[in-house]
Structure 1
Amino acid sequence: MWSAADAARHIALPRESDDKYSRGVLGLITGSAQYPGAAVLGVEAAARTGVGMIRYLGAQRAQDLILQRRPEAVMVDGRVQAWLIGSGMDHAAREPDAERHITAALGQNVPLVLDGGALDVVHRVTTPTVITPHYRELGRLLDEPTESIAATPRDWAESAATQLGCTVLLKGHTTYVSDGTTTAAIAAAPAWLATAGAGDALGGILGALVATHSPAVLANPALLVGLAATASYVHGRAAALASDGGPLTILDLCSNVSRVVAELAAACTDAVATDTRPQC
């Protein structure tokens, strides 16, 4: 099981010499005219996880909503350290502009996070990639029965990672992350988290963590297991704080992400100070 101590090792602490580019730029190709809110939630969660800049490429309606919520987001293409693609898209009918942006993103040497309506893009990737399906989405992607995946999720996360050549974050009450060699389990979330938009926020958290570790991931794709497990831990812990035993909204969750990251950063700093975790 992935612990807070494990997660603390995967938080990129900003240095005095950092600027917005060295802290990581996350690009998002998410949302759609039909589901613009998914883009808003992904951007919100990413911003609160910690990156130097967010670039968004997507539907105009989503752009407008994002700028109302997060005016610091940039709405033009440019340099990024990672891409989050697919949240709030229909895999069977992606918009032409989205396809164009996705094709361009696949030509860049940066890590990828594929969610929702872009899981099928995994067959086209050439850089380190993590996908974030739930049981039904993984069943569709592998053409396998959903019931079988739900019955043995750990086995299927490992098998899918081997088949697809990527890291798989299989969402559920217990989430499993595997690259086919290493597997982590995370059970930090309350049952109240089973609500619309939860996956969009998880994608934003994961995208931010990958962007802040981009050079290391390119050098060692195995790091994606720890980063994805940490994203799931942060997501679940933020949900628990937002819930406090009752219902929550995903914006409530997002508002607690910074607090969770601060907890982990403090734990990492304390460990470094006592030389018990110098790799933080």
Structure 2
Amino acid sequence: MNDAKTWTLESMKELWPVPAAGDDKYSRGVVGVIAGSEAYPGAAALVVSGAARAGAGMVRYVGPMRAQDLVLHHRPETVVHDPGDTAERLPRAQAWVVGSGVADYPEQDAAIGAAMASGAPLVVDAGALETVAKARAAGSREASADHVLLTPHEGELRRTLQALRHDVTAEEVHADRAGYARLLAEASRAAVLLKGSRSLVASPGGAVTLLPPAPAWLATAGTGDVLAGIAGTALASGLNAADAGAAAAWIHARAAERASEHSPGCVGPIVALDVAQAVPLVLAWNTEPWNTER
């Protein structure tokens, strides 16, 4: 990938938004989250935590009561909404994160449909990937390519391409990650953040951005939900989809490094909420993470 660029600390310094004295919770970006379910309520709390810790001015959560309760337990500042009401009248948000941990729940599906139809910027994860990619491939593109970010891992990338009638195996995807991420980006007219130990972002038109390697301890349940929340905050702040994906992946990996440092020179296991809680340490300006090149 000689034509790929690499995302660095300097990229972050140039693009990541920092609040000014005149900002309020709305100007900093409102992130809407349609995630989690009765079966997987933890996904909702993790996405919301990722968004909040990354600096969203406000986070709105849409989902079933069990997930609402867990969200409020972890992040009491969250504004919660019933999905039945949301499908009729979508709350105001600068960007929506949809799909993490969703299950068969018709009202939540309708809320995701309303977010798609609104034309607002979208981060699309897990259970919404195939739905959104198929709709966009068929021409339903209320949000522009610069405003939609798909966040699959390799298995989800393969399944989404198969849903678009591209016959591809897991081995083929693994052997050419950038090539198949580009294929999905072109087919769906959206940026694609392909997650992994070396994440990358592909855009329609073929541009690819490589991220520095992430700690192996990051490969644990729920960390992708935190990443989706961080990306939602980046998108709500005004970054385009490709930059939002690259910035979120960079922050996510650096937060994992911080969280896994249990003592000087000693790294070890982490869980997803550890990563979310470390995000503010990474985003603290004029401190070590911003002055050490990655």
- Counterpart of 1:52 (choices 34, 57, 62) is 57
- Counterpart of 2:199 (choices 162, 172, 175) is 175
Q: Secondary structure at the match of 1:140?
A: helix
Q: Give, as a single letter, the amino acid of the residue that structure 1 aligns with 2:94.
A: Q
Q: Give, as a single letter, the amino acid of the residue that structure 2 aligns with 1:203.
A: A
Q: Give, as a single letter, the amino acid of the residue that structure 1 aligns with 2:251.
A: V
Separation in 1 of the partners of 2:171 and 2:287?
A: 39
> What is the CA-CA distance between 1:201 and the residue it aligns to?
0.5
TM-score normalised by length of structure 2: 0.83
Q: Secondary structure at the match of 1:54?
A: strand
Q: Which residue of 1 aligns with 2:3?
A: none
Q: Superposed, which structure 2 residues align to 1:109-148 within 5 Å?
A: 109-120=119-130, 121-124=132-135, 125-127=141-143, 128-143=147-162, 144-148=168-172
Separation in 2 of the partners of 1:200 and 1:8?
A: 24
Separation in 2 of the partners of 1:57 and 1:264?
A: 36
- Counterpart of 1:158 (choices 182, 189, 201) is 182
Separation in 2 of the partners of 1:126 and 1:167?
A: 15
Q: Superposed, which structure 2 residues align to 1:197-216 within 5 Å?
A: 197-213=222-238
Separation in 1 of the partners of 2:288 and 2:142?
A: 36
Separation in 2 of the partners of 1:265 and 1:13?
A: 14
- Counterpart of 1:88 (choices 101, 106, 115) is 101
Separation in 2 of the partners of 1:210 and 1:172?
A: 21
Separation in 2 of the partners of 1:131 and 1:56?
A: 19
Q: Secondary structure at the match of 2:186?
A: helix
Kindly indicate whether structure 1 or structure 2 has the higher relative contact order, using CA contacts under 8 Å at least 6 residues apart.
Answer: 1
> What is the CA-CA distance between 1:266 and the residue it aligns to?
9.2
Q: Which residue of 2 aligns with 1:243?
A: 260
Do the aligned residues in 2 keep the contact of 1:182 with 1:225 (CA within 8 Å)?
Answer: no
> What is the CA-CA distance between 1:264 and the residue it aligns to?
7.7
Q: Which residue of 2 aligns with 1:275?
A: none
2:264 is equivalent to residue 259 of structure 1: no
> What is the CA-CA distance between 1:265 and the residue it aligns to?
9.0
Do the aligned residues in 2 keep the contact of 1:42 with 1:201 (CA within 8 Å)?
Answer: yes
Report how many residues are paired: 258
Q: Which residue of 2 aligns with 1:97?
A: 107
Q: Give, as a single letter, the amino acid of the residue that structure 1 aligns with 2:110.
A: R
Separation in 2 of the partners of 1:106 and 1:161?
A: 17
Q: Secondary structure at the match of 1:262?
A: coil
Q: Secondary structure at the match of 2:200?
A: strand
Do the aligned residues in 1 keep the contact of 2:133 with 2:160 (CA within 8 Å)?
Answer: no
Q: Give, as a single letter, the amino acid of the residue that structure 2 aligns with 1:150.
A: H
Tell me the percent identity: 41
Deviation sequence 1:141-178 (CA, Å, 0-9, x none): 11121111111101111121112111000111111101
Do the aligned residues in 2 keep the contact of 1:189 with 1:237 (CA within 8 Å)?
Answer: yes
Deviation sequence 1:232-277 (CA, Å, 0-9, x none): 0000000011112211111111111011111489998x9xxxxxxx
Separation in 1 of the partners of 2:241 and 2:27?
A: 19
Q: Give, as a single letter, the amino acid of the residue that structure 2 aligns with 1:122.
A: A
Do the aligned residues in 2 keep the contact of 1:135 with 1:146 (CA within 8 Å)?
Answer: yes
Deviation sequence 1:33-72 (CA, Å, 0-9, x none): 1110011011111101001110000011110011111111
Do the aligned residues in 2 keep the contact of 1:114 with 1:122 (CA within 8 Å)?
Answer: no
> What is the CA-CA distance between 1:10 and the residue it aligns to?
2.5
In structure 2, relative to structure 1, the CA distance for the partners of 1:267 and 1:254 (3 Å cut) is closer
Q: Structure 1: which 5+ residue stretches go unaligned?
A: 218-222, 271-280
Q: Structure 2: which 5+ residue stretches go unaligned?
A: 1-5, 136-140, 163-167, 262-266
Q: Give, as a single letter, the amino acid of the residue that structure 1 aligns with 2:226.
A: A
Separation in 2 of the partners of 1:104 and 1:164?
A: 19
Q: Which residue of 2 aligns with 1:276?
A: none
